[in-house]
Amino acid sequence: MVKIVESNLVFTSGRVERRMSVRHSTQRIAIHHTASGDVSAETVHGWHRNRGWMGIGYHYLIRQDGDIERGRAEELRGIHAPAANANSMAIALAGNFELLPPAAVQINALVWLIRDIRSRYGKLTLIRHSDLQATACPGRLFPWQELQRRLQQRTHQVVRGDTLFSLAQSYGVTVEQLRQWNNLSSGMIRVGQLLVVSQNI
Predicted confidence at residue 16, as pLDDT, reads 45
Asked if 144 and 84 sit in the same domain, the reply is yes
Q: How many CB atoms lie within 10 A of CB 167?
A: 17
Question: How big is the chain, counted in residues?
Answer: 201
Domain termination site, one of 131, 151, 171 = 151
Is 119 domain-assigned? yes
Asked if 140 and 48 sit in the same domain, the reply is yes
Asked if 36 and 124 sit in the same domain, the reply is yes
The enclosing domain of 167 has a CATH number of 3.10.350.10
Task: Summarize pLDDT for 60-97 with one digit per residue, the tens.
Answer: 999 999 999 999 999 999 999 998 999 999 999 999 99
Predicted confidence at residue 35, as pLDDT, reads 97
The predicted model scores a pTM of 0.81
Q: What is the mean pLDDT of residues 121-135?
A: 94
Question: Is the CB of residue 146 less than 8 Å from the CB of residue 133?
Answer: no
User: In 10-114, at which residue ranges do the beta strands (DSSP E only) sit?
Assistant: 28-33, 60-62, 68-70, 88-93
Domain termination site, one of 114, 131, 151 = 151
Domain termination site, one of 113, 135, 151 = 151
Predicted confidence at residue 163, as pLDDT, reads 94
Predicted confidence at residue 141, as pLDDT, reads 98
Asked if 50 and 121 sit in the same domain, the reply is yes
Tell how far CA 108 is from the center of its chain.
8
Predicted confidence at residue 14, as pLDDT, reads 57
Is 13 domain-assigned? no
Asked if 179 and 160 sit in the same domain, the reply is yes
More confident residue, 147 or 156: 147
Asked if 115 and 161 sit in the same domain, the reply is no
Q: Is 184 exposed, middle or buried (0-12, 13-18, 19+ CB in 10 A)?
A: middle
Tell how far CA 161 is from the center of its chain.
30
Predicted confidence at residue 127, as pLDDT, reads 97
Domains of the chain: total: 2
Asked if 109 and 145 sit in the same domain, the reply is yes
Predicted confidence at residue 20, as pLDDT, reads 82
Task: Summarize pLDDT for 5-51 with one digit per residue, the tens.
Answer: 999 998 876 554 457 889 989 999 999 999 999 999 999 999 999 99
The mean predicted confidence, pLDDT, of the chain is 91
Asked if 135 and 88 sit in the same domain, the reply is yes
| Rounded alpha-carbon distances, angstroms, from residue 118 to 46, 140, 151, 192 | 29, 25, 11, 21
The enclosing domain of 66 has a CATH number of 3.40.80.10
Asked if 106 and 185 sit in the same domain, the reply is no
Tell how far CA 111 is from the center of its chain.
6
Asked if 194 and 96 sit in the same domain, the reply is no
Asked if 101 and 141 sit in the same domain, the reply is yes
Predicted confidence at residue 17, as pLDDT, reads 44
Is 2 domain-assigned? no
Residue 180: give the domain boundaries.
Answer: 153-198
Q: What is the mean pLDDT of residues 167-177?
A: 93
Asked if 180 and 109 sit in the same domain, the reply is no
Residue 113 has pLDDT above 80, yes or no: yes
Q: Measured between alpha carbons, how far is 59 from 91 in angstroms, rounded to an integer? A: 6
